[in-house]
Chains A and B, each alone.
Chain A
C-alpha cells in the first residue's frame, strides 16, 4: 500500500459516511446512552476515513520533500524517529492486550502523533500544504475525542500526560535537514501504521461488544509505503 493520492470517490464516500455518523459519536453527543457498540463503530469509520485522508496528504507532503522520500520503495532505517510511538507490535502481544490497554495505547499514540503533526504544520512552507495539514490535524483531534468517548463509555480513565513531557518535533542542533526529512517521513509512515492498527483494534473491540460471532482473523503487518 502506497501513500499516494487515493481514490477521491472512495474518500468522498467515506467522508459522507463519517459525517452521517458523526452526530452519533459519543464524544460529540453524550445525550443518549446507546452503549459502547455504536461509539466503537463510529470510531472505526473515522479511522478508515483518516486512512484515506492521510493517503492524499502524505502523497503531497512526500513530493514536497522530494526524492527519495516520495519513491514507493523507499524504506530508510528508523534513525532519529525513536521518540515516535511505534505501532508495530508482536502479534501475540497484540492479541494479549486487554481492552483498556489497547485503547490507552491508541489514545497515547495519537496524542503524541498529533503534537508532532502540528510541528510539521508549522514548518511547512506552502500555504496549501499548511491547510491540508491543519485539516488533517482537526480530523485527528476528532479521532482522539472519539477514542476518549469509547474509553468513557467502557468506564476506562484517560491516561494523564506527564507534566513537562509534552513531545515536540523540533530538531536539535546536530539534526541535519536530511535527518529532519527522514523524521517527517517516519512520522507519516508511523501515523499510517497506527491508523491500520487502530482499524483492527476497533474492529476487534466492535466484534467483542457484539453477541458471539465468528472468530476474528488478524494480520497485522507493517509494509513499506
Chain B
C-alpha cells in the first residue's frame, strides 16, 4: 500500500509539473508582436521579441509567420524566418503585399522554434501568437471612393494589383486603364481588385488609372509610373592621354523614360585606392590619376535608380591604356626634286615610354606608309619623290610597348622642286599646199606631269631648211598652246620641237616636212569598228622604218576636227584605236604613215569606218521629172553618201498604187503601217536616178526613196504623191491650142473689119441692090423677081413716129410714142381702126401683089374663111389686105419712129414650099416682118407638119383650132 501511495504521489507531482509547464509560456517563444504599415511601399513591418531569453544568451531560431487576408482562415503567406537571436533583442521582419494594404484586412501570427545544435531537445514549435489584425480602411476618411495604390512606381513587365474602396454599396463603379474599362474581382461588397500583368511603358507622365461612379461626377485615379528597365552600362573603358587624368566612358544604354520620377546615377569606385566618385555625366567620368604612380586600377561602375542597380568592372594597367595626343609641329625641310625630310614632335609622356609613329605619304594617287619609333621628336626622310609634285603627309602615334589606341592624325602638305622636262613632246603635223606654199600645222600633246617635271612655260620650234643648212628659223609658242602654223616653201624642212619649263628644256622632237605630201594615191579601205575601238592593221614596210603614225580626227564633222595621232614602233603592224570621243553613226577616217629614218612621214594606207553603224536617218531629197502617162523619173543627185551614219549600200524605191500590182523588177513590200507597195532595189549607191515605168495613165501613185545600209534602211517618212496624165491630153493640147489661136485671129480680124462686115452681112438698112441674096434667088428660082422702086409706090398713109433723139431705145418698146397715121386715101367704112396705114409693097415677095400695088402688110384675117376666096386673085387680095390692114394695125406694137420698113431678110418667099413658115401669122405677133410677109398665092397657112398640099390648107376662124 505504501508503495502504491508513493507511486501515486509521484504521478501527481509529475502531472502537476506538466500542468505548470503547459500553463506558462515556453522559453524563447515570440512575444510583444507589433505590426506597422508602410503604405507607400505596401509593406507590413513586424517587430517582436523572444520570451525569456537570457541577456547573454544567443540562439539560432526559426520563426514561422502566417499572414491571412480578409479572414484568419484565408492564409495567403507562410514563411520561416531564421535568425540568430540575442538576449532582449527586438526582431524585425517585413513583407510586401502585392495587394495594396488598404484594400483588405490582414491578419498576422507567428510561432518559434530553436534551430540550434546546442539545444537539440528544444526543436519543437512554440504556440502560435494571437492574430494581429491590420485594417487600414478604418483610417481612410469619409470620401466616397478611393483607388490604391497611390502613384506606384514599377518596372516594365511587372504585375500590379489595383483596387478601389467604395463607401457606398449602392454605387456602380467602373474603372479604366488609359480610357479602357477594366474587369475586376470583387473582394468584398465595397472593394474590387484589378490585376495588371506585364505592364508596359506608355509615357513619361505615367499610365492613368481611374475609377468613377457611374451616376455621379466623382472620379478618383492614380498614376502608375512604369519605368523601362535600367540597362547595364556597355563598353566601359578608361584611358589616359597625359598620365594625369583617366577618362572613363561607357554607353548607358536606353533611357528608362522616367528621368524625372526615377533619376539614375552613375558611380565610379576604384577598389585599390578605395576611392569613389559620383559621375556628373551619363556616359563619361574623369578620374584623377594618383600621384603615387599607381599602375593597376580596378574600377566598378554602378548605374543605379530607385528600382534597380547595375554594375560593371574593369581591371587594367595604366600604361596599357595610353592614348597619345596627336603629334604637332609637323615640318618639311631640305625639300629637293625627289627628297624631303619630315619632322614632328609628340607630347611628353615621361621618359619611360617609346611611341610608335605611323607616317602616310599621299602623292600621285599612291600611299606610302612608314613606321618610326619616337621618344620626343620624330624625323623621317622621304625619298623617291617626283619633281614638282604636291604631297600630303600625315602622322599619328601610339604606345610602342602596349598598343592601345592611335592618336589623331596630323596632316601637312609639301611640294617637291621642279626639274627639266624629261621627255620630248609628241609632235605631229598637217600639211596643206596653198598657192605654191606648204602650210604646215604642227600639233603636240602636252607633257604629262611626270614628264613635264614642272610647269611648261613655252615650246621652242626650230625649222631647219635641209637644202640650206644655214637657214634656221626659231619660233617660241607660249604654253598652254598645243599647235602652231608655219608657211614654208616647197622644200624639205626639218622641224625640232622642245618643251621648256623654268628649269630647262626637254629633248627635241624631230619631224621632216617635204614639199609633196603625196597623200592622194592610196586607196581607202573600209574597217569595222567596235565599242572598244577600231582594229587597224597594215602591211609591214620594207626598208628602214623608225615607226608608224596613225592619224585620225575625233570630230570629223567639225571643221577643226580635233586631229589625233598615235605613235607606234617600227615592228608594229596593227593597233587598236580607241577614243572616248568616238560616237556611233560617225564615219572616222584613219591614215597610217610610216616614218623613215630621215624622219619623213609618208602615207601608207587609208582606212574608214564606223565604231557602230546606224541606220540612215535621212532620206534623199528626190526630184521628179519627165512625168508621162506611163512613167516618171526620180533623181537625188545631191545626196551625199559620205555623211551618212553607215555605209550606204543602195536605195529602195517604194511605189504605192491603187492597183497594188508590182511589175517585174520590183517586189511587194509591206510597210510598218500594213500598207502594201512595190519595192525597187538599187544596189549601187552611186546610182542616184531611177525611172519608174509601167504606170497606168490617169492613176495616182505615191513613191519614197530611202537609202539602205548593213544595219537597215532610212525612215519610212512621207510618200510623195503623183498622178499620171491621160494618154490623149498631149495630143489634144496640140490640136486645141492652134484652133484657139486661129479663132482668136479671126475674131481680131472681124473686129478690125467689123464695119465692112456689117455692111456686107447685116447692114442697118438693107439695100436690095447690094444684096447678094437677091441675085442668088433671082438666078436660081425666079428670074422675074425684081426690086420694088419706092417711087412706084403711091402712099396712102403716112405713119409719123415720134422718136426721141438720143434715147437709143428699141423701137419695139411699148413706151415709145404711138405712131400717128395720116390717111392719104379715103377711109373705108369697114375699117374699124383709128387711122390709115401706109403699106409698102415688097415686090421681092410677090409679083402679083406688087402688080396690084397691094399692101404687103398682111394681118391675120379675122374672117379667114370669107377671105379665103378673095385671096385667090390679086384684086381680092388687095381688097382683103386693105380691109384687114387697119385691123392688124391695131395690134402692131407701137414705137417705131420712122416709117415701118418691110424687111426681106428672113422672108420665106422663095419657090421652095418646104421653107414656108410653119405657123400662120398671128395678130399678137404682128411685126414688121410678118406684116410685110406676103402670102404666096395658092398658099394658106401651112400645116403643122409643113408638108401639106394646097388642097388641104384651110384657114380657120379665130377660136377654131388648126387640124
A and B: real partners?
A: yes
The interface bits of chain B over 396-413 (1 if a CB of A lies within 8 angstroms of the residue's CB, else 0) are 000000000000000000
Asked whether A65 is an interface residue with its Cβ less than 8 Å from the other chain, the reply is: yes
Query: Is there contact, CB below 8 Å, between B205 and A125?
Result: yes
The interface bits of chain A over 70-107 (1 if a CB of B lies within 8 angstroms of the residue's CB, else 0) are 01000111000000000000000000000000000000
Residues of B near A67 (CB, < 8 A) are 176, 178-179, 208
Query: Is there contact, CB below 8 Å, between B205 and A66?
Result: yes
Query: How far does the Cβ of A80 sit from chain B's closest Cβ, in whole Å?
Result: 12
Query: Is there contact, CB below 8 Å, between B150 and A176?
Result: yes
Query: Is there contact, CB below 8 Å, between B217 and A177?
Result: no
Chain B, interface size category, equals 20 to 34
Query: Is there contact, CB below 8 Å, between B208 and A178?
Result: yes
Query: Is there contact, CB below 8 Å, between A76 and B205?
Result: no
Residues of A near B218 (CB, < 8 A) are 77
Docked complex Cα distance between A75 and B222 (Å)? 17
Contacts of A40-75 to chain B: CB distance below 8 A: 64-69, 71, 75
Query: Is there contact, CB below 8 Å, between A66 and B150?
Result: no
Docked complex Cα distance between A176 and B151 (Å)? 7
Of B205, B210, B220, most buried by chain A (CB within 10 Å of CB) is B205
Of A65, A177, A181, most buried by chain B (CB within 10 Å of CB) is A177
Docked complex Cα distance between A125 and B208 (Å)? 17
Task: Point out the residue from A66, A77, A177, A178 that lies within 8 Å of B202, measured CB to CB.
Answer: A66
Residues of A near B151 (CB, < 8 A) are 176-178
Query: Is there contact, CB below 8 Å, between B203 and A75?
Result: no
Chain A, interface size category, equals 10 to 19
Q: Which residue of B lies closest to A64 (CB)?
A: B205
The interface bits of chain B over 530-559 (1 if a CB of A lies within 8 angstroms of the residue's CB, else 0) are 000000000000000000000000000000
Q: Which residue of B lies closest to A125 (CB)?
A: B204
Residues of B near A66 (CB, < 8 A) are 178, 202-203, 205-208
Query: Is there contact, CB below 8 Å, between B179 and A178?
Result: no
Docked complex Cα distance between A68 and B221 (Å)? 10
Query: How far does the Cβ of A68 sit from chain B's closest Cβ, in whole Å?
Result: 6
Query: How far does the Cβ of B38 sit from chain A's closest Cβ, in whole Å?
Result: 16
The interface bits of chain A over 155-180 (1 if a CB of B lies within 8 angstroms of the residue's CB, else 0) are 00000000000000000000011100
The interface bits of chain B over 210-222 (1 if a CB of A lies within 8 angstroms of the residue's CB, else 0) are 1000000111111
Asked whether B909 is an interface residue with its Cβ less than 8 Å from the other chain, the reply is: no
Docked complex Cα distance between A71 and B220 (Å)? 16
Query: How far does the Cβ of A89 sit from chain B's closest Cβ, in whole Å?
Result: 21
Docked complex Cα distance between A67 and B179 (Å)? 6
Docked complex Cα distance between A56 and B204 (Å)? 21
Q: Which residue of A lies closest to B150 (CB)?
A: A176
Residues of A near B203 (CB, < 8 A) are 64, 66
Query: How far does the Cβ of A193 sit from chain B's closest Cβ, in whole Å?
Result: 18
Once A66-B202, A176-B222 are accepted as A-B contacts, the answer to whether A181 and B260 lie under 8 Å apart by CB is no
Contacts of B178-223 to chain A: CB distance below 8 A: 178-179, 202-208, 210, 217-223
Query: Is there contact, CB below 8 Å, between B217 and A181?
Result: no
Q: Which residue of A lies closest to B151 (CB)?
A: A177
Of B203, B217, B221, most buried by chain A (CB within 10 Å of CB) is B221
Q: Which residue of B lies closest to A71 (CB)?
A: B179
Q: Which residue of A lies closest to B202 (CB)?
A: A66
Once A76-B219, A77-B218, A77-B219 are accepted as A-B contacts, the answer to whether A177 and B179 lie under 8 Å apart by CB is no
Q: Which residue of B lies closest to A184 (CB)?
A: B205
Query: How far does the Cβ of B298 sit from chain A's closest Cβ, in whole Å?
Result: 38
Residues of B near A178 (CB, < 8 A) are 151, 208, 210, 220-223
Closest 7 CB pairs of A and B: A67-B179, A177-B223, A178-B221, A177-B151, A125-B204, A66-B208, A76-B219
Binding site for B on A (CB under 8 A): 64-69, 71, 75-77, 125-126, 176-178, 181
9 more contacts with CB within 8 A, not counting A68-B208, A125-B204, are A65-B205, A65-B208, A66-B178, A67-B179, A68-B210, A76-B217, A77-B219, A126-B204, A176-B223
- What would 27 A/B residue contacts be, using CB atoms closer than 8 Å? A64-B203, A64-B205, A65-B208, A66-B205, A66-B208, A68-B179, A68-B208, A68-B210, A75-B217, A76-B219, A77-B217, A77-B218, A77-B219, A125-B204, A125-B205, A125-B259, A126-B204, A176-B150, A176-B151, A176-B222, A176-B223, A177-B151, A177-B206, A178-B208, A178-B222, A181-B205, A181-B208
